[in-house]
Structures are given as structure tokens and as C-alpha cells.
Structure 1
Amino acid sequence: MFDPADFPEPTLVSVNGVELEVFEAGRQNAGNPIVLCHGWPEHAFSWRHQMPALAAAGYHVIVPNQRGYGNSSRPAEVTGYDIEHLSGDLVALLDHYGYEDAAFIGHDWGAMVVWGLALLHPNRVNKVINLSLPYQERGEKPWVESMEDVLGGDFYFVHFNRQPGVADAVFEENTFQFLRNIYRKNEPPREPRPGMALIDLARAETPLGDPVMSDGELAVFVSAFESAGFTGSVNWYRNLDRNWHLLADVDPIVQQPTLMIYGDRDAVQKSERLAEFVPQVEVVDLDCGHWIQQEKPEETNRVITEWLEQRDAD
């Protein structure tokens, strides 16, 4: 288990009209940056196991709490969380440190941002490593509309968009319970039930499966969301269709060398056509659920550092 007291102290960095809370490791490796992008409902702390390993591998490790999270800014406007703003924050972060480009690692929503960053600002990204969420094809219809057609109005992406504020309020009323219940592994299979699954999860008094982290680690996430609330982070979902429109005229092919890490027991679907959009991709499957880098820290670190070493040797 990781002692939260060992996590680096943050600095607040002004970028792109917001302040980001940024954690660093390996500053002695200046000139070799790698930026780690968390997902939802996460925090920079979700990379606690990767930061020392990447610093030891020779990287200047930069880990922001992205806008809406932790002590970073939480703009009031929903559109302040679209892919242009989120990728713009990362570009401005590189500018702040004086870097032309960097390797980027994303998990979950952080992976969505890294995919978008690689398309919108390809010259600022030299390598892509994404966990859980594969490249999302831009189909004929905006993403939320497509999900509504296939998965219905209670699917959480759709619900967040069609019933703004409802889920956020439930998460905030049940912050500890929601985060305790969502950060699980080895969960028994469940029959799908009607209703909004994440609201039900936040209200469930008994968690299923096994905890992903210690009580002390979980307390870091709980404290951050008790302070920040959930609306800023849920607003990322409320820009999905806007992002679909913003990416309309962008070359959809990710040209950078890419590592895609899946959890075999993750509910997120793998992509059968990944290599069509990401021609330089290598795929690795780990025996875990959704919280890949926290469930399997040593394996994740080994896969990432070996892949980076190989790329740097090429």
C-alpha cells in the first residue's frame, strides 16, 4: 500500500486562463517530459505508483489535476470543459515548462483528452500511452445521440447530458459511499437493472467485490471531491457532442507511436478497428478491471517503461 504522505507537494500553475494543481517527480530529468492525465472520478493521485517508476526511468514526470478536479480551477461555464480547453491546458503546461513536446499517458477520460490532443496538436505529442479507453471513432451522429439510440436515456453519458445537475447532486450527497463503491475490483457479474446505474451505485450501502486501494488512499480522493464537488468533472461528459463537432475537420489518424493498455475485465469495450486510426499502435492486455494502473501497478509500470525504452532505442 502507498502512504499518501509520500505523494509530492503540488504547485499551482497558471495556464490557459486557469490554475492547475500540478504534481511532479524526477525534476532532475528536465528535458525528458512525460505528462500523466487522470480520468473520472479520479485525481493526479491515481498515478502515485507510476510517478516514481517513470522518474527512475529518466523522465520529468508532470501530473496535473485537470480543470474541474482537486485544487485546480473549476470554470462555471459548461463549455469551459470541451476538448479545445482541456487539450489547450496541456499545451500551455508544456509551454510553462519550456517543452516543445512530450510523451503523454491517459487513463479513462484522460485517455480521451490525450487522443484529442494528439489530433489537435500533433506536433506537441511525441508518444501516446493510453489505458482503458481506446480511440473513439467519430461516427455519423454525435456521440451522445448515438449512445442514446443504442443504450437509452439512463446510460450515464446520456443522463449527465439530458438531466444536468441530477447525478452531480447525488454524488455530492454520498461522496464517500460513491467513491468507495466505484473503486472496486473482482466484482461479481450483475444483471443489468433499469435506472441510472451510477446513481444507484452512489446510494448502495454495501460495496461489491474488493477495494482497489487502502482506506488512507481512498481518503485522498474523498477529500478532493468533498472540496471540489462533482459538477466540474461531470461537465467533461457534457461536452461530448460539442467535441464531436470540434473534431469535424481534424485529420482523424493518430500518427504517433502508441501503446494501448486494456484491462481484460474492464467494462469499457476494446476497439476492433484501433489500428485503422492509430497505425503505430501496440496493444497489451492486463488481467484486471477498469482501474488499471491502481489495480496492477507493477505490471503497468513494467509494460510502460519497457515500451518507452524500446521506442527511445529505435
Structure 2
Amino acid sequence: MIEMPPLQFAQTNGIRMGFYEAGPTDDRPPVVLCHGWPEIAFSWRHQIKALADAGIRVIAPDQRGYGATDRPEPVEAYDLEHLTGDLVGLLDHLKIDKAIFVGHDWGGFVVWQMPLRHRDRVAGVVGVNTPHRPRSPIDPVELFRERFGNSMYIVQFQDPSREADKIFDSRVEQAFDFFMRQPLPRKDTGPAEPPTAGLGASSKLNLAFPQMIAAYDAKYDPRKPILSAEEKKVFVDTFTKTGFTGGINWYRNWTRNWERAEALDHTVRVPSLMIMAENDAVLPPSAADGMEKVVPDLEKYLVRGSGHWTQQEKPEEVSAKLIEWRRRRFG
């Protein structure tokens, strides 16, 4: 049986946001858990229970475009100003002045932006797999195109025809079968390979996730699933209902976010923790090298043997680290 608190709703920043809350409401500062792509608040189910059981107030929203939360039509409604503004509005709804923001994958980009844009609402930040970096000197989408080519999924997501969305929307179960697996055992020479098992000739594509999923057959995938059948059904049912476009629209704002961040001071001036996953092929631990230059009060923690879905692959370890760090730094 999967344990989740009851779904609640908040009017925030022009949308209705679904969220889950557990733990004592007088605990401060509470912990806000922000999911990545393609995920939902349910991705934090293990941490919600563990933190609440430890006496910590915990809040996990379905973010804009996902799950029980509204999915506005305009692409620019998914930029970082909106995504961080949604979290401020959620704090306002719950009458919370400051919180610790924890983000995995895309949620990590959002939480590292919180102290840059809303410093007075942030007690601390935890990045799970996603590091904080100084602003790139050139448009990141052009960087991805240069480094990985036009087939790289983030570059493909910029295509206004939305072909990638259609591939995911027509193969929801296939997508979660493909994504939600542990990496194969790492080679001695470096991090785990990108998830290309079960793809035949398509495995030559570099991060071309739409084509990988279109060609994918779970029968031939040697990687171990990280979700039970019951857990997978939650993701599949949710994304069958919502589609993938809301989450992909976050990627369609990459250039806009980069352009509009030029005037920001990119130094994070709150207590921060970086949780890295040893075998994440897309966001390896090396991506966090040098973070101390822009995050002066930083601790790092390595989760060994984990791929990209760290809080679901190694839930007890991630929860224990969050609890230990929260208690040590905030009482």
C-alpha cells in the first residue's frame, strides 16, 4: 500500500496548485520538495513519510504543468519567474515565511533560483543531482546543440511542432518503463552509460530520448526497474491524463531564462547541501565541481550506486541525509 497524505489545493500566482503536506504544522523551517521531469510530487513519497515521522513539516507540490496542478497554455508561463513565484505563493497560502527548498532534476534548477529571486523566503537549499552553476556565457540550448547535436532531447524540445510531446503522449507506459530504471553497473572508466539498453541500433543516439522511447522494448532491457507495478501505475495514470507538454514547456524556456537572468547575482547566500548520485549519466557528480565559488556555505554528499532517480532509488539514504542536515543546520 502506497502512503501519501491527502491532496490539497492552493491558489497561487494565477494557478491552482495541488500539494501534499505532512508532519507537525508548528515545525520551522518546513521542507518543500520540488520534483523534476517527468515526475510529480509522488516521486517524494518516501521522503514525505520519513521526514514527517522525524517530526519535520514537509510539503510536496505538483509543480506548474504537472499532475493535479494547472497547465497554462502559453509557453512563457513556464519560465523561472513563474516557477519560483508559484512556490512563494504556496508559502503565502500556508502562512509560512521561510522554507528549506529541496529540488531534484528540474526541481533543482528551480530551488537554486529561489534564493537569487526570493532571498527573504529561503532558509536553505538542497540540490539532488542538479548543481548550481554561474550563468553560461552563451545560450545553453546552443551549447547543447554544439555538444550533443540536434537529436539531443533538450534541443528537440525546442521544436514548435511538438513532435517529442506526441511521442511521449502516445507511449506513456513505455516512457516510464524506459526512464524509471537503475543504471547498469558502472564501468571502471567513468560514470554509467546513458540509458540505451533494449534499443537495438537506436542505442547509438546520444540522449535522443524521444527516438529511444519510440524504439524501446522493455523485454530486452537488462536494467532493473525502480518502481513497483503499483507505483508505476500512479505515474502512467497521471501522465496519460495530463500529457507531457506542461513539463516539456519548462525546457522551452531555457533560452528565455538565460536571457532574463543576466542582471541576477548568481551567488547563493543560504546554507546549502548538494546530494550527488554516483551513476547519474546526465547529471554526474563532476557537474558539481567548483560549486563552492557560487555557493559559499555548501556541503556535498555522494550517494553511491545510484542513478538519476536518487530519492526513489536510495530513499532511506536520501531521507536520512535530509533529516540529519536539517537538524544540524536548523535545530
* TM, length-normalised to structure 1: 0.94
Q: Is contact 2:29-2:330 (8 Å) kept?
A: no
Structure 1 residues 164, 62: closer, same or farther in 2, change over 3 A? farther
Q: Does 1:205 align with 2:221?
A: no
Q: Which residue of 2 aligns with 1:13?
A: 10
Question: What are the Cα deviations for residues 138-183 of structure 1, in whole angstroms up to 9, with x where unaligned?
Answer: 1211111121122211111111013541111000110001111100
1:89 aligns with 2:86: yes
Matched-pair contact (CA < 8 Å) for 1:34–1:103: yes
- 3-state SS of paired residue (2:11): strand
Aligned to 2:317: 299
Structure 2 residue 50 is matched with structure 1 residue 53: yes
State the Cα RMSD in Å. Answer: 1.6
Q: How many percent identity over aligned positions? A: 40
Are 2:24 and 2:55, in contact at CA under 8 Å, matched by a contact in 1?
no
Secondary structure of residue in 1 paired with 2:253: helix
Structure 1 equivalent of residue 327 of structure 2:
309
Whichever residue aligns with residue 296 of structure 2, its letter is: P
Contact preservation (8 Å) 2:133, 2:294: no
1:145 pairs with 2:142: yes
The match for 1:223 among 209, 216, 237 is: 237
Q: Which residue pairs with 2:303 in the alignment?
A: 286
Q: How many residues align?
A: 310
* Aligned pairs for 1:255-266 within 5 A: 255-266=269-280
AA paired with 2:310?
I
Please state if 1:234 is matched with 2:248: yes
- 1:273 equivalent among 285, 290, 298: 290
CA contact (8 A) 1:260 1:284 kept: yes
Give the Å deviation of 1:194.
Answer: 3.3
Report which stretch shifted further, 194-203 or 178-187: 194-203
The alpha carbon displacement at 1:27 in A equals: 4.2
For residues 117-139 of structure 1, give each alpha carbon's deviation from its aligned partner in whole angstroms, at most 9, with x where no partner exists: 12111111111111011113312
Whole-angstrom distance in 2 between the partners of 1:8 and 1:272: 37
CA distance in 1, matches of 2:300, 2:314: 16
State whether residues 273 and 299 of structure 2, in contact with CA within 8 Å, keep that contact through their aligned partners in structure 1: yes
Larger CA deviation: 175-184 vs 22-31: 22-31
Conserved in 1, the CA contact under 8 Å of 2:148 and 2:206?
A: no
1:124 aligns with 2:121: yes
CA displacement at 1:19 relative to structure 2: 0.6
1:184/1:208 contact within 8 Å kept: no
Residue among 22, 40, 51 paired with 2:37: 40
Cα 1:30–1:310, aligned 2, differ >3 Å: closer, same or farther?
A: closer
Displacement after TM superposition at 1:308 (Å): 1.1
3-state DSSP class of the match of 1:53? helix
Distance 2:182 2:145 in 1: 28
Q: List gaps (5 residues or longer) in structure 1.
A: none
Cα distance in 1, alignment partners of residues 261 and 298 from structure 2: 21
CA distance in 1, matches of 2:206, 2:136: 27
How many angstroms apart in 2 are the aligned matches of 1:93 and 1:208?
A: 41
Give the structure-2-normalised TM-score: 0.90
Residue aligning to 1:169: 166
**Distance in 1 separating the partners of 2:67 and 2:325:** 30
